[in-house]
Amino acid sequence: MIKLNQLWNNVLIEVQSKVTTLTYDVYISNLEPVGVYNDTLILLAQSPALKRIVNEHHKELLKQATSTVFPTITEVKIVLEAELKDIDKLEKEVDIPVSKENFFEDIEQSSFVENYTFDNFIVGKSNQHAAAVCKAVAEVPGGKYNPLFIHSGVGLGKTHLLHAIGNYVKKNHPEMKTIYTTSEKFTNELIEAVRSGTKDPDATKKFRNKYRSVDLLMIDDIQFLANTEVTLEEFFHTFNDLYMANKQIVICSDRPPKEINIEERLRTRFAMGVISSINPPDFETRIAILQKKAINFHAQVSMDVLKIIADRCKTNVREMEGLLNRIISQAMLVGGDYNDMSVVYQALDDYGDDQQEILSIEKIVDATCEYFRVSKEAMVGKKKNKGIAYPRQIAMYLARELLTVPLESIGEYFGGRHHTTIMYARDIISDQIKTNSNTASQVKDIKDKILKR
Ligand code: ADP
Ligand code: MG
């Protein structure tokens, strides 16, 4: 049996890789699963506008995504609150076969976000070099620009460009095998393969075959590649095999190779080909990006509104998109017009509040657990071995640094520890940050994740 929320989460993961953030945040994530009725998944929309738009533009995709993950569910129905009573016997737990259970299923090809193309990528001074080399790589993979390394702050278009390469190659060189992955996914798959090695001796072989037989390998957010011997070793050999065979490698990161905390032999390899960086876009480029987003979204947003958004977000395009989507959502919620300034300001106000709310001790602990791959129970539990004590101290340090809650409350959260324990953790980690570059970069990585930078 699978719970409805679990089912929906799986569908969301599937959908997320196929739509833009804007569509996902404004429409898809605002649907709520209410049950399964025969072979139909019923989703609740909060407003008639949302129901209409999803029915018109996104229903096919939802249907496909649902049946990909759960083959027995072949229909999706969007309903309003008032229509719920007409449907009797909604099932909240469903006993259905799940099709996606193994990691190696997508072995052949990655799929790419349809909208992340070169055509939809606005080029300005800040990104023209990166856009040009990506285009060149897409035209001739394994040519002059290999490996290609792109770095920039968060939300400046790296992932978009990787998908653009993917979309282009898929269309123009359909015979090529192309994989896009994140360093986290790479790490997780490897761990999974090694772990299942006892049951399935071929697991690591399959993993190797998957990555070493591609024509184009794109790895996103390489700074999160686990700093463990197994992962580094595997990645090193994958890299070498592909490189020696003139296969294209594209790597993205939030910092240049020389600042990545990784063994030297890998760092040198990253820097072997072309390195390109993306800077925050200037005002004109920001406006052009917003115009493009609005058009793709079938929304006629006025220049006044676009200027307000472009003024507000200067260093992160994703944030700019987030604001645009807030304004459109807000208008939909109150049944108003997104060019109406009172709607716009209301949306901007809420935006500020949310940023505050985002940070909680929970979030810090979750991010730290994920980073070190330890469980939350262990984190707030009593064990004191080094494997858990160190991540715990880092989480305590971050809680102290990022939140304004009293030491006592942090202590309370970590299984009722005394406030001096929190102070001790804070002191010890802040000392280590100064003396140990490994700790410094771990703390930075986790912090970046928490603050989504
Ligand atoms: P990064 O991977 O660098 O963190 P993303 O590629 O995820 O950033 O970009 C964040 C969002 O901003 C995406 O929705 C992307 O389409 C958009 N974006 C960034 N730069 C541009 C651009 N030059 N033109 C159009 N959209 C852009
Ligand atoms: Mg990215």
Give 122 Cα–ligand 1 centroid separation in angstroms: 9
Q: Which residue has tokens 């940050």? A: 433
Distance of alpha carbon 75 from alpha carbon 121, whole angstroms: 34
pLDDT at 79: 92
Q: Whose CA is nearest to atom 26 of ligand 1?
A: 121
Give the 3-state secondary structure of residue 100. coil
| Number of the ligand 1 atom closest to the C-alpha atom of 153 | 3
Give 178 Cα–ligand 2 centroid separation in angstroms: 18
pLDDT at 364: 92
Nearest ligand to the C-alpha atom of residue 153: 1
pLDDT at 107: 44
pLDDT at 100: 42
pLDDT at 97: 57
Q: Whose CA is nearest to atom 1 of ligand 1?
A: 155
Q: State which of 156, 255, 287, 292 you would mutate to test the pocket of ligand 1, scoring each by most atoms of that ligand within 8 A of its C-beta.
A: 156
Give 369 Cα–ligand 2 centroid separation in angstroms: 21
The model's pTM is 0.67
For every residue of 386-418, DSSP letters joined together read HHHHHHHHHHHHHHHHH--S-HHHHHHHTTS--
Q: Could you say which residues of the chain have pLDDT below 70? A: 1, 88-109, 350-359, 404, 453
**H runs (alpha helix) in 257-299:** 264-270, 283-296
Strand order in the sheet with 274-277: 178-182, 216-220, 248-253, 148-151, 274-277
Contact (Cβ atoms closer than 8 angstroms) between residue 29 and residue 54: no
Give the pocket of ligand 1 (CB within 6 Å): 20-21, 116, 120-122, 127, 152, 154-160, 289, 292, 317-318, 321
